[in-house]
Structure 1
Amino acid sequence: MKIRLVNNGVFTPIEDIAQTLAPAHAGFYWIDADVEDLAVLQPLFGMHDLAVEDCLSEEEQRPKIEIYESHYFIVINSIRFDDEEIFLRALNIFLGRHFIITVTKQKINELRSLKPLLWEQEVSRPDYFLYHLVDIVVDNYFLVGDRIDNRIETLEEDILMHTKKSHLNEIIGLRGEILWLKKVLGPQRDVIATLNKKDLKLIDDQLQKYFSDIYENALKIAESFDTYRDLMGNLREAYQSSVSNRANEIMRVFTAITTIFMPLTFITGIYGMNFDFIPGLHLRMGSYILLGIMLLLGIGMFFIFRKKEWL
């Protein structure tokens, strides 16, 4: 657990947690905690039992906002895209008048990238801290969306050039993650809408228009993932069409080969019959002449098929 006094974007480490129970003369306290620290924090800050239970739960938490008398409990999901797999990590936030507590189970990159922004904006209020944090989290969805878009384009080119069975697994896996992510975007968008529209006493009225901008971005992200879902459907159709065309191409080659060998089989069939009088049967060079005729016939049919673009 790390405790800092934030005043005009400047961070001052605090050793004694009891100091955070009373408002600072200037600025606010930011407590960056792990779930194990809740046993100490809950009685000090009067955290609601249900909020603490949500933080400790092993189940995936939906984004939400809970309004309590002395604080707000907010859950939003940070997003990462590593090794072609999407990860969501819950970011639990307790917002009070003079403090903000972030509780996470894993490291959240947005918290580290937030520090220089707070210094640049000279932030001295916890609600402005919340605004910048939510803004960074939402912006990262655009970055992940761009990577998904690039992955779809690359996959489409690979399918058109060299279709493989592994492409179908990639399509199914990526489409499943996009659909799963869409289910998260709805509740997260609702949380931002609440921060934007609802009258919240712990959030400055001037922040409403700023949260409105974040809400518009959240809508754009939801629309983008609708598009990605449709593109994955088109990609699957392209894969099936490519596989079908490849099968047809293979069947066309096999059919051509069979057709070429049909007259050759016909000739060998005639000379394989047990008759004494067959033209050329007793010629000294008869077998070579026959093989030459068969070779010329096969080559001739091959070039005829190539000319007609059947091969």
Structure 2
Amino acid sequence: MKIRLVRQGVFTTVEDITETLVPPDEGFYWIDADVDDLVVLQPLFGIHDLAVEDCLTEEEQRPKLEVYESHYFLVINSIRFDDEEIFLRALNVFLGRHYLITVTRQKINELRSIKPILWEQEVNSADRLMYHLVDIVVDNYFSVGDRIEARIEQLEEDILMHTKKSHLTEIIGLRSEILWLKKVLGPQRDVIATLNKRDLRLIDHQLQKYFIDIHENAVKIYETFETYRDLMGNLREAYQSSVANRANEIMRVFTALTTIFMPLTFLTGVYGMNFDYIPGMHDQYGSVVLLCIMIGLGFGMFYIFRKKDWL
């Protein structure tokens, strides 16, 4: 657990957690904790049992905002895209008048990248820290969306150039993750809208207006992933069409080869019969002439098929 006193974006480390119970003369306290630290934090700050239960659960949390008497409890999901797999990590935020507590089960990159923003913006209140934290979490969805879009384009190119069975597995897997992520984006969009529209006394009224921009970005992200879902459906159709076209191409080649060998098989069948009198049977060069006819017939049919673009 890390305890910091934040004044105009400048951090000062605090060793004794009991100091955070009294509002500072200037600034606010930021407590960055793990779920195990809730044993200490709950009695000190009067955190509700249901909020603690939500933090401790290992299941993925639905984004939400709960208002208690002395603090707010906000759950949003940070996103990561590693090794072609999407991960969501719950960021639990407790907002008080003079403090902000962030509780996470795994490490979240946004908590590290927020520090330069606090310095640059000279953040001096807990609600502004929460605003910038929600903003950077939502912005990261755009970067993940760009990577997913690039992967979809690469898949489309690979399918058109050379279709593989592994492409279908990748399409199904990526589409499932997009659908799963889309179910989370809807509630998260609604929670951000609540931060803007609801009367929240712990958030400055002027600051609440800025949540409109974050909400607009959340709506764009939701619509973007809706588009990705449609693209994955189109990609699956393209895969199936490519497989069907490839099968048709193979069948066309086999049919053409069979057609070419049909007259050759006929000639060999005729001259393989046990009759005494077959034209050219006893001729000295009969076999050579027959072979030349067969080769010429085969190449002639091949030339005709190529000219008609059947091969």
One-letter amino acid of the structure 1 residue matched with residue 150 of structure 2: N
Distance 1:84 1:209 in 2: 36
Aligned twin of 1:69: 69
Counterpart check, 1:171 vs 2:164: no
Q: Name the counterpart of 2:252.
A: 252
CA distance in structure 2 between the aligned counterparts of 1:59 and 1:115, rounded to whole angstroms: 28
**Quick one: which amino acid aligns to residue 190 of structure 2?**
D
Distance 1:299 1:152 in 2: 44
Cα distance in 1 for partners of 2:7, 2:196 equals 25
Q: 1:246-281 CA deviation, whole Å, 9 max, x = no partner?
A: 110000000000000000000011111111100111
Equivalent in the alignment of 1:187: 187
- 2:287 pairs with 1:278: no
Find the residue that maps to 1:78 and give its secondary structure: strand
1:214 is aligned to 214
The gaps in structure 1 that reach 5 residues or longer are none
Residues 57-79 of structure 1 show CA distances to partners (whole Å, capped at 9, x for unaligned) of 01111100111101111100000
Corresponding residue number in structure 2 for 1:236: 236
Question: How big is each residue's C-alpha offset from its partner over 1:8-29, in whole Å with a ceiling of 9 and x where there is no partner?
Answer: 0000000000101111111100
Aligned to 2:203: 203
Deviations 1:103-155 (A, max 9, x none): 00111000100000001000010000000000000000111111111111111
Return the offset for 1:291.
1.4
Q: When the two structures are superposed, what TM-score results if normalisation uses the length of structure 1? A: 0.99
Q: Which runs of 4+ in 1 moved over 6 A?
A: none
In the alignment, what sits opposite 1:36? Answer: 36
1:140 is paired with a residue of what secondary structure? helix
Q: What residue number does 1:59 align with?
A: 59
**What do the CA deviations read for 1:272-299 (whole angstroms, capped 9, x no partner)?**
1111100111112222221121111111
Letter in 2 for 1:232: M
Distance in 2, Cα, partners of 1:107 & 1:125: 24
Q: Which residue of 1 aligns with 2:105?
A: 105
- 1:139 match: 139
Aligned mates of 2:58, 2:111 — CA distance in 1: 22
In the alignment, the residues of structure 1 paired with residue 284 and residue 71 of structure 2 have an alpha-carbon distance, to the nearest angstrom, of: 107
CA distance in 2, matches of 1:34, 1:212: 30
For residues 17-56 of structure 1, give each alpha carbon's deviation from its aligned partner in whole angstroms, at most 9, with x where no partner exists.
Answer: 0101111111100000001111111111110000000100
Take 1:207 and 1:186, find their aligned partners in 2: how far apart are those partners?
23
Once residues 284 and 307 of structure 1 are traced to their aligned partners in structure 2, the CA distance between those partners, rounded to angstroms, is: 36
2:263 corresponds to 1:263: yes
Provide the rounded CA distance (Å) in 2 between the counterparts of 1:138 and 1:218.
Answer: 7
How far off its partner does 1:180 sit? 0.5
Alignment of 1:7-18 (within 5 A): 7-18=7-18
**Partner in structure 2 of residue 96 of structure 1:** 96
- Tell me how far apart the structure 2 counterparts of residues 296 and 306 of structure 1 sit (CA, whole Å): 15
What letter matches 2:272 in structure 1?
G
TM-score under structure 2 normalisation?
A: 0.99
CA distance in 2, matches of 1:55, 1:240: 44
Q: How many residue pairs align between the two structures?
A: 311
Taking the aligned partners of 1:84 and 1:279, their CA distance within structure 2 comes to 70
Alpha-carbon distance between aligned partners in 2 of 1:84 and 1:116, rounded to the nearest angstrom:
29
Deviation at 1:217, TM superposition (A): 0.6
Segments of 5+ residues of structure 2 without an aligned counterpart are: none
CA distance in 1, matches of 2:31, 2:41: 10
Query: In 1, Cα distance between the equivalents of 2:118 and 2:190?
Result: 25
Hey, what does 1:159 align to over in structure 2? 159
